[in-house]
Each structure stands twice: as C-alpha cells, then as structure tokens.
C-alpha cells in the first residue's frame, strides 16, 4: 500500500524534474530559431569603463569598451552576440563548461590563466595605477613606499599578482571594485591596485591616484577562448588586428569613460532607490520566483524523502537518511557550484543559471523540510492511525486524510521558518549570475560605487519580504487554530 503511494509520488517527481529540464530545452530551442548563429560573451559587468550596466532609454544594458570589441568580433563573424554577466571568479569555469564561447572582461593573459584557456593577441595595453585616499596622495610616491602596506585587489586578477610581489604587503582580495573602494574609504586598506581606466572612472573627492606606478611584464588585455579552438581564436585575432589598425580601441575607451562619468551623484536613500528601482524590481522578481519554486519543489521532494526516511525497507530508509545528512552537512554554495559547474563539466548536464538555482534551493530545503515532516508525522498520536485502520481505511487513505493533515498543521510554523530562510538564502544564486535581488544590488554597487545605499535598500526589501511572509503565515496559523482549540 505504501509502495503504491511512493510510486505515485515518484511519478509526480519525475514529471516535475522533466518540466524543469524542459524549461531549458524550450529556451534553447527558441534561441535556435534565428537563422544567424549565436555567439555568447562572458563578462563580469561591474568594471567600468570596461563593462558595466547602464540604463539607456529605460532599458538596462551592459556597455563598455570590452563590449564594443565583442560586438565587432560578432559582426565580423556575422553572428548574434549574447552577453552573459558572470562574476569574474566564475568566468574560467563558465568558458570551460561551454556556457560561454569567449570572455572579454579586462582580463590579462597571465601564465597561470594560459594553462587553462587560450588568449588572443592583446587588444588594449592598459597601465596599472595605485589608488589611495586623497589625503595620502603624496605618501606613496614610489612602489617601495608600499612595502608592508595593506593593499586591496580584485580576486584572481593581475593586480593580485602584482600585490604579491610587494614586500610585506598585506593583501585583501575582493570580488568587486566597489568593495575595494569601500575598504579604502573605511581605512581597512591603505591602497588599491587597479587598471588605470578603472581608477580614473571610479575617482571621487575622497580618493586620488598616487604617483607610484606598478610595473609588470604582463600588460594588456586579451580575449579568452576555450583551449583547442584555433578557428575561433584566428577569427578573433583578425578582428583585434583590424581594430588596432583602425585605432578604434582608444576611441571605445574614451566613449565608455564618458558613459561612466556623471553617473555618481550624492543621493539620499529613497531617491537612490527611485533612480535604480528597475534593477531592484527585476531582482525581486527573480528572488520571489526562486523562493516560491524552491519551496514548492522542496515541499514535494521533502515529503518524499521523509517517507523514504521512515520506510519499512531498510535500504530506502538509508537512502533517505544519506540524502538528508549530505545536504544538511555541506554548504549550499558548494551544492550550487557542483550542480551548475560540476555537472556541466563532468556529465555535460547544462542547466541554465536559473535552473541550477531552483534545483539547488529545492533539494537543499527539501532536506530540512524532510526532517520537519518526519517530526510532524511521528508527532501524530499512533491512536489516530489505529482508529483510521480500524474503520477499514487503507494505510494510504489513513496517511493521506488523517495523519498528514495533522502533521502538516503541527509543523506549519517550522515550514514557515524554512520559507523565510529560503528567501534569504536564495541570494547565493547571485554567485552564478542569476539576476536576483542580491545580484542586482551588486550591479547597482558596481554601477555607482555607492558604499551603503544599495545594501540598505536590499536589506529593507529582504526584510519586507520575510516580515510580510511571517505575518501572513501567522494569520494562516491563527485561522487554522480556531478550528482546533486544544
């Protein structure tokens, strides 16, 4: 009898999984209908003036001189350009797993990187500079004066390597330029190493460029492609050569720099929110979508796992237990990376970022929900099952109509907590480039270099979502309780 129930549930689960997988298929098929082929650019669009978000005529676009170059490459190949915004750290894995065809992201062709991907010829020879607080402008005249200083750099960047060559320097490696700037302003670091165009674009009244100039043998930026792809590399090199010959690159740099300028203006929190509301609105949409789907799938899978966990058959019980322990015992971020990158590289299962996010949230919360359900089911008095069975009801009927409703009712507060947790934890999908609330917050920070406002706004929005939900659940609980006064 219980087996029949399990069968039903597993069929439902399979349908759900196929439906999710199907989402990807459909999206892919739509992309294919265009007769032109498509080429996908991976870039970390928080790096003005190289690549950054800007609202142009009410629409959020990724612009910058790297993007201009990518457009030229696509045009020369007669292909449609699709831009994927991915954190700098994840660019190489994205290229490796075939999610993007090439990367242009202010990336230097370091020997370390050359081991895993191929680079084109240099398209722009950028200089490095040292950014300091305005009052320290004359303190750092030569590189020697930086010995023992606290220095901020972008994670896995050329600047990080330069920093490592400075004697006694205390390095802080961060993901975002905006984070480095905050660290500088709040005196957690003394100086930051940046590309000159970036430093110039992000200058404020409080910061200055020091006289010291870092030297390195690896200068300049190149386009990255997956190893063993000489045709694409050739094609890109042709475009780079043409642009260099026509002296277009400097033109693009100037254009992009002028796009950056005038972006920063002091705004109060509300005006700031109003100006960037489209970013936040788009982010809320994804955060809610992820949370709702995560909760629904988590609920169904969690119930299924709880049934496995309590099954009479030892092997199934063991499977349920292992599932729960593994998912609860490892960080969700790790699970996300394994599902998004690991499966793509090892098994060729290519989920979109959104799918990976939904799957991770679903299975992660299912482990917690399974334990909640188990506690609820075991908490129902055994006399309830006996009474139902004594009336001739089958085990399945009794479980469905007598045990489960009581169990769910008793664990409703715990389920509510789990929902709230999911809303908050869904923010980790920003790591793989799902444009949720956290991701959009980072975008706004990258765009404006504003220290606090984007974070405060995100905090308020998250709070409204979770507080609103907890009030709503409280209402539902009270309503249920009126029918069952103990």
How many beta carbons lie within 10 A of that of residue 23, not counting itself?
A: 15
**Quick one: DSSP state of residue 188?**
S
What stretches of 310-432 show up as alpha helix (H) in DSSP? 314-329, 332-337, 343-347, 353-379, 382-390, 395-398, 404-425
Residue 180 tokens read as 């480095």
**Binder among 389, 412, 421, 451 for another protein (CB under 8 A):** 389
**Are the C-beta atoms of 155 and 173 separated by less than 8 Å?**
yes
CB of 474 to another protein, least distance (A): 19
Among residues 173, 269, 394, 421, the one that binds another protein under rule CB under 8 A: 394
Task: Provide the minimum distance between the beta carbon of 174 and another protein in the complex, in angstroms, as a whole number.
Answer: 53
Q: Is residue 275 close enough to count as binding another protein by CB under 8 A?
A: no
Residue from 384, 417, 421, 470 touching another protein (CB under 8 A): that is 384
248 binds another protein (CB under 8 A): no
Contact 38, 31 (CB under 8 A): yes
In sequence order, the 6+-apart residues with CB closer than 8 A to the CB of 250 are none
Structure tokens at 431: 């790591």
Question: Pairing state of beta strands 207-209 and 128-133?
Answer: antiparallel
What is the C-alpha to C-alpha distance for residues 97 and 486, in angstroms, rounded to an integer?
Answer: 57
| Cβ atoms 152, 199 nearer than 8 A | no
**Residue 195: its H or E element:** strand 191-195
For another protein, the closer of residues 311 and 406 by Cβ is 406
Which residues ranging from 14 to 53 are in contact with another protein (CB under 8 A)? none
Q: Which of 387, 452, 464, 472 binds another protein (CB under 8 A)?
A: 387
Please list, in sequence order, all residues whose beta carbon lies within 8 angstroms of the beta carbon of residue 254, skipping any fewer than 6 positions away.
none
* Residue linked to tokens 């660019």: 91
Per CB under 8 A, 312 contacts another protein: no
**CA–CA separation, 231 and 222 (whole Å):** 16
Q: How far apart are CA 418 and CA 292, in angstroms?
A: 12
Q: Which stretch binds another protein (CB under 8 A): 24-32, 215-223, 341-349, 380-388?
A: 380-388
Q: How far is the CB of 385 from another protein (least distance, A)?
A: 9
Least CB distance from residue 409 to another protein, whole Å?
6
- Are the CB atoms for 38 and 80 separated by under 8 Å? yes
Among 134, 213, 215, 391, binds another protein (CB under 8 A): 391
Contact region for another protein (CB under 8 A) — 39-47, 363-371, 459-467, 477-485? Answer: 477-485
Which residues in 400-439 contact another protein (CB under 8 A)? 401-402, 405-406, 409
Quick one: 331 or 405, whose CB is closer to another protein?
405
Q: What's the closest the beta carbon of residue 481 comes to another protein, in angstroms?
A: 10
Q: Residue 452: helix, strand or coil by DSSP?
A: coil
Interface with another protein includes 483 (CB under 8 A)?
Answer: yes
The least distance separating another protein from the CB of residue 296, rounded to whole angstroms, comes to 23
User: What's the min distance (Å) between Cβ of 386 and another protein?
Assistant: 6
Nearer to another protein, 319 or 404 (CB): 404
Nearest-approach distance from CB 397 to another protein, in angstroms: 5
Instruction: Supply the minimum distance, in Å, between the C-beta of residue 447 and another protein.
Output: 52
Q: Which is nearer to another protein, 57 or 482 (CB)?
A: 482
* Region of 8 on the Ramachandran plot (φ > 0 left; ψ -120 to 50 alpha; else beta): alpha
Of 135, 217, 231, 484, the one binding another protein (CB under 8 A) is 484
Burial environment of residue 111 by CB neighbours within 10 A (0 to 12, 13 to 18, 19 or more):
exposed
Count, residues near another protein per rule CB under 8 A: 22
Q: Which of 390, 452, 471, 476 binds another protein (CB under 8 A)?
A: 390
Running DSSP on this structure, what letter comes out for residue 126?
P
Residues in Cβ contact with 39 at an 8 Å cutoff, skipping those fewer than 6 apart: 73, 74, 77, 79, 80, 81, 82, 101, 102
* Identity of the residue, 229 or 384, whose beta carbon is nearer to another protein in the bound complex: 384
Nearest distance in Å: CB 376, another protein? 13
- 476 near another protein (CB under 8 A): no
Q: From residue 67 to residue 106, what is the string marking binding to another protein with x (rule CB under 8 A)?
A: ----------------------------------------
Q: Judge whether 51 and 66 are in contact, CB under 8 Å.
A: yes
Stretch that binds another protein, among 11-19, 383-391, 458-466, 470-478 (CB under 8 A): 383-391
Asked if omega into 79 is within 30° of 0 (cis), the reply is no
CB atoms within 10 A of CB 219: 16
Q: Cβ closer to another protein: 186 or 482?
A: 482
List interacting residues with another protein (CB under 8 A).
381, 383-384, 386-394, 397, 401-402, 405-406, 409, 483-486
């Amino acid at each position: 009898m219980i087996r029949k129930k399990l069968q039903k549930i597993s069929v439902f689960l399979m349908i759900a999984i196929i439906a999710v997988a199907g989402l990807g298929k459909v999206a892919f098929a739509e992309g294919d209908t265009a007769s032109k082929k498509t080429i996908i650019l991976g870039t970390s669009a928080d790096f003005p003036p190289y690549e950054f978000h800007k609202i142009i005529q009410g629409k959020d676009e990724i612009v910058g001189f790297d993007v201009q170059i990518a457009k030229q490459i696509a045009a020369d190949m007669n292909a449609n350009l699709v831009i994927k915004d991915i954190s700098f750290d994840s660019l190489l894995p994205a290229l490796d797993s075939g999610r993007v065809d090439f990367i242009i992201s202010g990336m230097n062709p370091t020997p370390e990187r050359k081991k895993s991907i191929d680079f084109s010829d240099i398209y722009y020879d950028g200089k490095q500079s040292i950014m300091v607080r305005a009052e320290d402008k004359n303190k750092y005249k030569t590189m020697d004066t930086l010995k023992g200083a606290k220095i901020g750099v972008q994670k896995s960047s050329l600047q990080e390597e330069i920093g490592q060559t400075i004697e006694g320097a205390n390095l802080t490696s961060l993901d975002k330029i905006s984070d480095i700037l905050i660290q500088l302003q709040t005196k957690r670091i003394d100086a930051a190493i940046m590309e000159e165009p970036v430093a110039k674009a992000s200058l404020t009244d409080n910061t200055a460029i020091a006289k010291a100039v870092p030297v390195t043998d690896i200068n300049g930026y190149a386009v990255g492609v997956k190893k063993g792809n000489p045709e694409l590399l050739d094609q890109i090199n042709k475009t780079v050569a043409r642009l260099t010959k026509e002296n277009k690159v400097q033109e693009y740099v100037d254009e992009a720099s002028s796009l950056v300028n005038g972006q920063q203006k002091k705004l109060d929190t509300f005006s700031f929110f109003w100006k960037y509301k489209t970013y936040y609105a788009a982010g809320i949409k994804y955060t809610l979508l992820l949370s709702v789907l995560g909760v629904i799938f988590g609920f169904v899978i969690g119930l299924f796992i709880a049934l496995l966990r309590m099954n009479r058959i030892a092997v199934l019980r063991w499977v349920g237990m292992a599932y729960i322990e593994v998912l609860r015992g490892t960080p969700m971020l790790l699970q996300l990376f394994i599902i998004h990158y690991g499966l793509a590289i090892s098994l060729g299962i290519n989920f979109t970022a959104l799918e990976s996010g939904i799957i991770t949230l679903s299975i992660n919360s299912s482990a917690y929900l399974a334990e909640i359900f188990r506690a609820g089911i075991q908490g129902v008095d055994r006399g309830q099952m006996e009474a139902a069975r004594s009336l001739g009801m089958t085990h399945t009927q009794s479980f469905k109509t007598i045990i489960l409703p009581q169990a769910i009712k008793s664990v409703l507060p715990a389920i509510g907590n789990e929902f709230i947790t999911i809303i908050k934890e869904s923010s980790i999908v920003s790591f793989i480039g799902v444009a949720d609330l956290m991701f959009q917050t980072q975008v706004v920070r990258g765009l404006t270099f504003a220290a606090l406002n984007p974070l405060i706004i995100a905090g308020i929005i998250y709070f409204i979502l979770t507080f609103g939900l907890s009030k709503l659940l409280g209402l539902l609980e009270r309503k249920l309780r009126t029918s069952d006064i103990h």
